[in-house]
Amino acid sequence: MKKLYFIGIDVSKEKLSCFDGKEEFSVKNDLDLEEFKRLLRRKYKDLKRIALIFEATGIYSYFLKAFCNTKHIKAYILNPKKTPNLAKVLGQRSKTDKVDARTIYCFKDLISKEPVLKNQN
């Protein structure tokens, strides 16, 4: 089985704050997520080896859900009530988008390996 590349994403109205285990980056949260798609293709080439982890944030996460669905990207969608509890366990006191993206990334070790949205191929 090929290695999956996990990306933790903090979703807000204006942007997606991301952490991939090595670096942080932000992209605009818009309808087509074109900037995000270009960045992922440049960094990872094969989108089918990516798994995104993000919170269900109502309408703000709709573009990301649709993007995962149309591009056949695995998605793990978290209950937003769980993330603050993990942040406490990890000793994260500050509340910024970058810190939240890192905290969400840590869920990769805790989640079921069966994504909510998965490749249909």
Instruction: Report the distance separating Cα 87 and Cα 95, nearest Å.
Output: 9
Which pLDDT score is estimated for 120? Answer: 46
Give me the pLDDT at residue 94, please: 58
Return the CATH class of domain 5-109: alpha beta
The rounded average pLDDT for each run of 10 residues, N- to C-terminus, in the chain (121 residues) is 86 95 95 93 88 91 94 89 66 69 84 58 44
Supply the pLDDT for residue 100. 83
Q: Taking the alpha carbons of 45, 48, 52, 57 in that order, is the dihedral positive or negative?
A: positive
Q: Which of 65, 84, 83 is nearest to 73 (CA)?
A: 65
